[in-house]
């Protein structure tokens, strides 16, 4: 089966597409931003027409708004299209949101982890999948990764290997996240990988249980949840390598990523348009709002102005690395993780900043009400530490009478999804 001609031909075709994508992405990096925007507009006008003709949900939605695909003549006109919510996608899946001619069996499937409480399945055509895989390779190559390197992925299950992996090309080992850190460390020593990849809370969980890793790593790749500065610092120190963060989701596996300058995350402009919006209106760079995604080449299940459920800020500046295009300077996490104050909501990072202290190595914050917060923490929570964190938390949540409860714990295990919500708002 390793040399099955159909399988081999499909993989070779996929490889060729990824090489073309890499070449195109490099050209987009070098050319003026206006040329990239012209290309995005051309793809946007095409996908709008395609969705109107082939996806029943969009046909109804456009008609209800009195909108036609031709009404979008420039990128700014995208704001005429109503925002798409996850509930609308799931409520119309698969019959009315999947394009005619595409099926679950014939498409690439990606499922969300369900950390927000709702699991979903999202489809893409194989060409779109190859584009995103090419971007993932490109990201790692910026930090020294090459096809002959060895990569360890912290995963839920051991994935089936491709034929070229069985021949030693792109060597990847899956390490199950059900394993204890001590066992993982021994496995890493045995495999001696060039890089590791996983959700940051699990990488941090492993790093926190060792003094150092006697294996030279090019980088630790973090994805799937918000990277905490405490986690980044400890992983960097324990594993003696940079932590590289990238942002993706089941709906769009590659949205943005860090480059070696690590001044923010470069947005994928090849097959997406990213807006930062509030109530459907695009915000100016520097303003925090909802991440709103439009996929430009996914013909199986186009997502147009899709509110992905996260909050972020677009940078007003370009990166010093010389690559052109938009950048996300901060990704604040899921909208439903925002903490509440008497005057409104604040991003979860504000609450996390309040807990930063040399004596705290890991934590979970639960806002039980406007007047009460519970903090589970790994570290030495002496009286001075508790007092400092309490005062900072009261200032953050604008409540001088806020009750802050502390619990010292030995570890904070990830959720069954493999992720760990660091801020939970039940208020």
Greatest CA separation for the chain: 70
Average pLDDT across the chain, whole number: 89
Burial of 343 (0-12, 13-18, 19+ CB in 10 A): exposed
Contacts 24+ apart (CB under 8 A), 271-275: 271/43, 271/128, 271/131, 271/132, 271/295, 271/296, 271/297, 271/298, 272/296, 273/40, 273/44, 273/75, 273/78, 274/314, 274/326, 274/328, 275/78, 275/305
Compute the average pLDDT of residues 293-301: 97
| Cβ pair 401, 344 in contact under 8 A | no
Each residue's pLDDT tens digit, 232-281? 999 999 999 999 999 999 999 999 999 999 999 999 999 999 999 999 99
Residues 6+ apart with CB under 8 A from 64: none
Radius of gyration of the chain (CA): 22
Measured CA to CA, the distance from residue 404 to residue 371 in angstroms comes to 9
Instruction: Provide the pLDDT confidence category of residue 292 given band limits of 50, 70 and 90.
Output: very high
| Cβ pair 108, 121 in contact under 8 A | no
**Does residue 347 lie within any of the structural domains?**
yes
**Does residue 188 lie within any of the structural domains?**
no
Q: Which residue stretches of 31-121 are H helix?
A: 33-54, 56-65, 86-91
The whole-number pLDDT of residue 424 equals: 86
The whole-number pLDDT of residue 412 equals: 79
Q: What is the CATH number of the domain that holds 377?
A: 3.30.300.30
Name the pTM for this structure. Answer: 0.84
Q: Lowest mean pLDDT: which of 161-175, 345-359, 372-386? A: 161-175
- The residue assigned the tokens 């709002």 is 289
Measured CA to CA, the distance from residue 249 to residue 145 in angstroms comes to 22
The whole-number pLDDT of residue 5 equals: 45
Q: Is the pLDDT of residue 3 over 50?
A: no
Give the angle subtended at the CA of 424 by the CAs of 418 and 427, to the nearest 5°. 155
**Does residue 103 lie within any of the structural domains?**
no
Each residue's pLDDT tens digit, 172-227? 899 998 888 899 999 999 999 999 999 988 898 899 888 999 999 999 999 988 88
Q: Is the pLDDT of residue 373 over 50?
A: yes
Reference 80, options 60, 99, 62, 92; nearest CA is 62
Helix (H) or strand (E) holding 383: helix 383-396
The whole-number pLDDT of residue 415 equals: 66
Of 5-9, 16-20, 116-120, where does the model show the most confidence? 16-20
Quote the percentage of the chain above a pLDDT of 90: 65
Instruction: Provide the pLDDT confidence category of residue 362 given band limits of 50, 70 and 90.
Output: confident
78 or 414: which carries more pLDDT confidence?
A: 78
**Does residue 346 lie within any of the structural domains?**
yes
Measured CA to CA, the distance from residue 233 to residue 20 in angstroms comes to 36
Helix (H) or strand (E) holding 419: none
Quote the percentage of the chain above a pLDDT of 70: 92
Alpha-carbon dihedral angle through residues 196, 200, 206, 208, given to the nearest 10 degrees? 130
Compute the average pLDDT of residues 345-355: 83
The whole-number pLDDT of residue 202 equals: 87
**Does residue 273 lie within any of the structural domains?**
no
Residue 374: domain span: 338-425
Q: At what angle do helices 181-191 and 200-207 cross, to 10 degrees?
A: 90
In the chain, the number of structural domains is: 1
The whole-number pLDDT of residue 423 equals: 87
Which string of DSSP letters, residue by residue, matches 141-186? HTTT--TTSEEEEEESSPPPPPHHHHTTSSEEEEEETTS-HHHHHH
């Amino acid at each position: 089966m390793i040399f099955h001609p159909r399988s081999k031909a499909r993989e070779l075709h996929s490889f060729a597409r990824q090489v073309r994508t890499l070449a195109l992405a490099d050209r987009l990096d070098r050319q003026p931003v206006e040329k990239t925007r012209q290309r995005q507009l051309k793809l946007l006008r095409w996908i709008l027409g395609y969705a109107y003709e082939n996806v029943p949900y969009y046909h109804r939605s456009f008609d209800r708004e009195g909108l036609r695909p031709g009404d979008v003549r420039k990128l700014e006109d995208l704001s005429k299209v109503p925002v798409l919510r996850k509930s609308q996608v799931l409520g119309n899946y698969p019959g009315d949101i999947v394009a005619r001619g595409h099926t679950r069996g014939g498409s690439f499937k990606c499922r969300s982890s369900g950390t927000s409480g709702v699991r979903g399945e999202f489809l893409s055509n194989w060409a779109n999948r190859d584009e995103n895989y090419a971007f993932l390779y490109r990201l790692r190559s910026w930090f020294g990764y090459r096809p002959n390197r060895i990569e360890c992925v912290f995963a839920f299950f051991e994935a089936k290997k491709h034929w070229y992996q069985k021949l030693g090309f792109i060597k990847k080992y899956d390490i199950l996240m059900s394993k204890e850190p001590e066992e993982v460390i021994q496995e890493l020593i045995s495999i001696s990988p060039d890089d590791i990849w996983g959700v940051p809370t699990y990488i941090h969980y492993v790093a926190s249980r060792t003094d150092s890793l006697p294996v030279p790593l090019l980088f630790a790749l973090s994805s799937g949840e918000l990277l905490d500065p405490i986690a980044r610092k400890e992983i960097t120190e324990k594993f003696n390598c940079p932590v590289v963060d990238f942002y993706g989701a089941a709906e769009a596996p590659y949205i943005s990523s860090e480059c070696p300058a690590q001044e923010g995350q470069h947005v994928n402009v090849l097959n997406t348009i990213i807006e930062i919006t509030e109530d459907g209106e695009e915000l100016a760079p520097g303003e925090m709002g909802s991440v709103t995604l439009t996929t430009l080449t996914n013909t199986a299940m186009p997502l147009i102005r899709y509110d992905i459920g996260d909050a972020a800020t677009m940078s007003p500046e370009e990166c010093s690395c010389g690559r052109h295009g938009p950048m996300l300077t901060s990704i604040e996490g899921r909208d439903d993780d925002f903490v509440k104050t008497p005057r409104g909501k604040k991003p979860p990072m504000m609450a996390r900043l309040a807990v930063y202290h040399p004596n705290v190595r890991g934590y979970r914050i639960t806002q039980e009400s406007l007047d009460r917060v519970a903090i589970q923490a790994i570290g030495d929570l002496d009286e001075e530490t508790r007092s400092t964190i309490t005062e900072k938390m009261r200032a953050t949540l604008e409540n001088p009478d806020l009750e802050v409860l502390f619990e010292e714990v030995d570890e904070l295990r990830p959720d069954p999804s493999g992720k760990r919500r660091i801020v939970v708002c039940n208020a």
